[in-house]
């Protein structure tokens, strides 16, 4: 399967077949996306293991209020890493 970067490379090569001097500088590739920042109720429920009492989330994650209520009701501890 082609990725966005593969398609960009193919287009770049097709448009600038001439010498390297004629082609403009190629922009640097973007860094991979950071971990998800906002966690909704649906995502939290998918992350939970059946019978689990501890949930590990990224340190910078924002957990929705509904998720916090659901976790509190079920006695689940949130660990931020």
Mind listing the pLDDT tens digit for each residue in 25-80?
666 667 666 666 899 999 999 998 888 999 999 888 999 999 999 999 999 999 99
Q: Where do the domains of the chain lie?
A: 4-80
Does the model's pTM come out above 0.85?
no
Residue for token pair 């004629």 = 22
Residue 53, number of CB atoms within 10 A of its CB: 11
**pLDDT attached to residue 16:** 72
Cα–Cα distance for residue pair 29/3, rounded to 1 Å: 13
Cα–Cα distance for residue pair 32/28, rounded to 1 Å: 12
């Amino acid at each position: 399967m082609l990725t966005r970067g593969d398609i960009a490379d193919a287009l770049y090569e097709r448009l600038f077949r001439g010498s390297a001097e004629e082609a403009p500088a190629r922009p640097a590739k973007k860094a991979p996306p950071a971990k998800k920042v906002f966690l909704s109720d649906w995502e939290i429920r998918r992350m939970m293991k059946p019978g689990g009492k501890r949930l590990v989330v990224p340190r910078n994650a924002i957990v929705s209020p509904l998720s916090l209520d659901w976790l509190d009701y079920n006695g689940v501890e949130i660990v931020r890493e």
